[in-house]
């Protein structure tokens, strides 16, 4: 319900119950997005408020319609500060050019957010809650709550690659630039193919498989970088949240403590 040109608001009393019913009826989607507000046009400096009754944390996101902005154009700000365990309070703000999402903790049973156009041009966005269903083959390797550690493989030569039927993960083996053999399970994506790892997967898997199958001289791609968050040790390492998959990358800089050895 509008409250003037500079400020618009929408309140969803009991909305979480409604969304839960709709989510339960949705079929086999890995990421479900249901509208809070669609095709919302915000003029420069204009704001729009969302308030949800939420008994538990809810992930809420937004997407810019059409072409992404040239710079960050929409800012999402948490309106109710939350107490920190160590003392003090925090209130999160996110700005992006194409969209973003965050899981918000309710304060006194509510989540209140304000979306603001921080650009010089009108921007059209969709706002929605997100429910993630982990039903890919890679999900069986995910341990909820584990944060892992940053790990980088500097690959000298690939020896093998086998991928799951749905392409969500690959078993990759080879030798590092330090002459150490390795075997790693790379989780490209779990509940959303549009993550950076999911976007890397198509080209990375295609090229690594091509090099292995055709016995391509390693000088064509070494050193190759595989980087992400790691769980486990030795040949039992699972690499997820992939943020680099490229080569040759002789000038790639990484702290030595983060290199697989």
Domains of the chain: 7-132 (2.60.120), 137-258 (2.40.50)
N-terminal to C-terminal alpha carbon distance within the chain = 58
Region label for 45, one of left (φ > 0), alpha (ψ between -120 and 50) or beta (otherwise):
left
> Is the pTM higher than 0.75?
no
pLDDT tens string 116-152:
999 999 999 999 998 888 889 999 998 776 778 999 9
Mean pLDDT, range 57-76, rounded to an integer: 93
pLDDT tens string 21-51:
333 333 333 677 888 999 999 999 999 999 9
Alpha-carbon distance 90 to 76, whole Å? 14
3-state DSSP assignment of residue 228: strand
pLDDT tens string 179-195:
999 999 999 988 777 77
Quick one: pLDDT at residue 191?
78
Q: By C-alpha distance, which of 146, 74, 79, 76 is closest to 106?
A: 79
pLDDT above 90 covers a percentage of the chain that reads 68
């Amino acid at each position: 319900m509008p409250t003037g040109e500079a400020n618009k608001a929408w309140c969803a009393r009991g909305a979480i119950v409604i969304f839960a019913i709709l989510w339960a009826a949705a079929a086999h989607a890995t990421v479900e997005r249901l509208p809070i507000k669609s095709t919302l046009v915000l003029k420069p400096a204009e704001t729009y408020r969302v308030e949800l009754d939420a008994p538990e944390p809810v992930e809420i996101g937004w997407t810019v319609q059409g072409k992404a902005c040239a710079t960050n154009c929409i800012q999402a700000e948490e309106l109710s500060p939350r107490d920190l365990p160590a003392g003090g309070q925090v209130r999160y703000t996110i700005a992006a050019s194409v969209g973003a999402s965050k899981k918000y903790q309710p304060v006194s049973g509510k989540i209140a957010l304000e979306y603001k156009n921080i650009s010089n041009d009108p921007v059209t966005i969709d706002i929605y809650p997100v429910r993630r269903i982990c039903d890919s083959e890679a999900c069986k390797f995910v341990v909820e709550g584990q944060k892992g550690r940053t790990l980088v493989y500097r690959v000298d030569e690939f020896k093998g690659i086998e991928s799951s039927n749905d392409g969500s993960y690959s078993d990759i083996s080879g030798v590092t630039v330090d002459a150490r053999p390795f075997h790693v399970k790379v989780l490209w994506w779990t509940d959303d193919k549009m993550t950076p790892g999911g976007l890397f997967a198509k080209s990375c898997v295609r090229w690594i498989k091509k090099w292995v199958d055709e016995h391509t001289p390693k000088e064509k791609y070494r050193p190759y970088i595989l980087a992400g968050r790691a769980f486990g040790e030795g040949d039992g390492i699972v690499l997820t949240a992939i943020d680099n998959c490229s080569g040759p990358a002789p000038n790639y800089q990484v702290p030595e403590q983060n290199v697989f050895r």
